[in-house]
Structure 1
Amino acid sequence: MTKNKENVPAKAVESLFNKVSNLIEQARVRVAAAMNVAEVYTKYQIGRLIVEDEQKGKYRAEYGKQILSKLSERLLSTYESGWTVDTLKRCRFFYRIYCPQQIGATVLPQSEVLPDFTLSWSHYLVLMRIKNADERRFYEIEATSGNWSVRELQRQYGSSLYERLALSWDKEQVARLSRVGNVVEKPEDIIKNPVTLEFVGLKPDASYSESKLESAIIGKLQDFLLELGKGFLFEARQKRFSFDEDNYYVDLVLYNRLLQCYVLVDLKVDKLTHQDLGQMQMYVNYYDRYVKQDFEKPTIGILLCKEKKDTLVKLTLPEDANIYASAYELYLPDKKLLQAKVKEWVNEFENAR
């Protein structure tokens, strides 16, 4: 007599597999993160040893290059690839930048307290190129909190995010960027001037319509949401609402989970007009009265336009209007010009105190 084998339900296997698979994937992420942090701390400590060795006197300073070359040869023969002279120089530079105790170019004896590294070595290779300490700290905070990839960090730095935020804020708030990053607490905190849309691929000197710009943005939606800032979620394109037998369309409807409010975006390929502002005010009023839930904050309206005039905005809208105009650029801004402007602005503020 043959014993019948019990059939295992496929759903039971699938359920167990998903749970086990999830644990394995989480473990892989934790291991990768731990390896990244271990690499950073190791290279920081290597940099410390090199700096301390070089500061032992004239002999070390005179033969410093040869020592690094010989050290590299020994390391490569023992640990194979990776430990080139350039890598050792980067370790040294990394330590000099992030050492918590420095006086000028002299690094003091090692502190027991190590810096709190949160990113990968590849991230810090990008950050080390940023000379301004406040700006470097800002990008480190943002990359950590936003879980930026190295590519995204490079893009945000290349598009001068720090300078654009600094020039969009009140002067008193600029110093906060290097301490806590871009904290979103109120509608003004999500506005940048300009918004950089170089990723959409439209040429600055080409003729294009608002629908073409909108389509280009939708095609690069993830990049667009990252450019706008923290907490943005996409809801709809060309969202229609009707009253008095007329139809109206909002170009882009977003939601900001940090502010807990709708964000309506209208795109204008020409300069801003008072009619544009009035139309956006009507959109915002509609959402506040008929769409917004009681627990949500007032709707925000953003007009992305080729040219904007602050005086026109102030004269057209009431002071408490939740509507903002921001210029956009189809190319990356000149970083040196923005840096000079921020420095000028900060100096002006400090001298006035």
Structure 2
Amino acid sequence: MKPFGMIPFFIPHVGCPYVCTFCNQSRITGQSGISHLTPDYIKETITEYVGSKRNDKFWEVAFYGGSFTAIHTDLQHQLLAPASEMLKRGIIDGIRCSTRPDAVGAEAISLLQGYGVKIVELGVQSMNDQILVDAKRGHTAQQVIEAVSRLKKRGMTVGVQLLPGLKGESWDTIIETAVAVSELMPDFVRIYPVLVIENTELANQYRAGEYKPLSTEQAIQYCAFLKEWFEEHNIEVIRTGLQSTDELDSGDSLVAGPYEPAMGELVVNEQYKQRIERCFDEHFSESSFGDQYIYNFSPLSNHYSHKVECRTHANNTDRMMQNRIVISYPRSLTSKVRGLKNRNILYFQETYPQFSIDWCEDSTRNTVRCCIDGLQYVL
């Protein structure tokens, strides 16, 4: 498959009937207004992006940042027409847009499909109604369910955007959202931990002590759980964490919150850390059956490991390698398993000082393995 080439056009706040507590699109994107988005500008921008690399990538125009189907239909036509023309001419391969769950009725979907739009991303944020009310989203979880169903019935590819860390968030609401979204079976998910941006109601709440943002570690744990859960249910997570921008990197717009340009990498590190730790938990909670131990490793996800059942004699004196652990991995996964700046190695050294843990590259395998007392668990 060709690599993906996105041609983004941001539409900050245009069409949004509400002002969410966390939202300041102009600050996040570094852009404001859409007067420059003329048909000629859109076609010229597409041409510049594609250049001489037409066959090198799958080129897709993306209308992001606002509630696309909530803006006036005349403006939708104005924006979509030049993109659709380039699609018909074979200059690009697709068009997508992002919008609100309560703004994708039958007519809105028909308008999109008339211009060749095949992918719609919904700003869902949470599936807990109280969190949605507190964030002033203006839609309910039920409207999310109806929107995804309606889009899928019309043959659209559906994405869901989530914002873990809104006011009132907890592990209970994170799990509630994970379960509810997985039941909808969207085609993909984006996960953006909440940041406190200047000139937002959330910034005022933070300064008044009414809102506490996630720490970086909390954000990593929430994102790792959500990513693991969705991947378990065969739902692709295409991004975790906001993309780095000059506006955010400067610090002028960011008031507080877990802004981390390497968030995606850190989340994958956390996934491997949790998988290894589950091996520890399962291995050392073995059950004794007569003269044998039976080790049952039941992973959360069939896609990253399989069930292992091994038997060994119960006499601990025969277990010469007790508490010796070897984590092996192919070179391509070294940074993911060991962690950014060896964060996973340091974690296990500090958390399990009683174990001798070796971290080894193994070019003969393409999987990650955790070997404990001679038994192997495949991650």
Give the TM-score range, shorter chain.
Answer: under 0.3
Q: Which has the higher helix share?
A: 1
Q: Which has the higher strand share?
A: 2
**TM-score (structure 1 length as normaliser):** 0.26
Higher Cα radius of gyration: 1
**TM-score (structure 2 length as normaliser):** 0.25
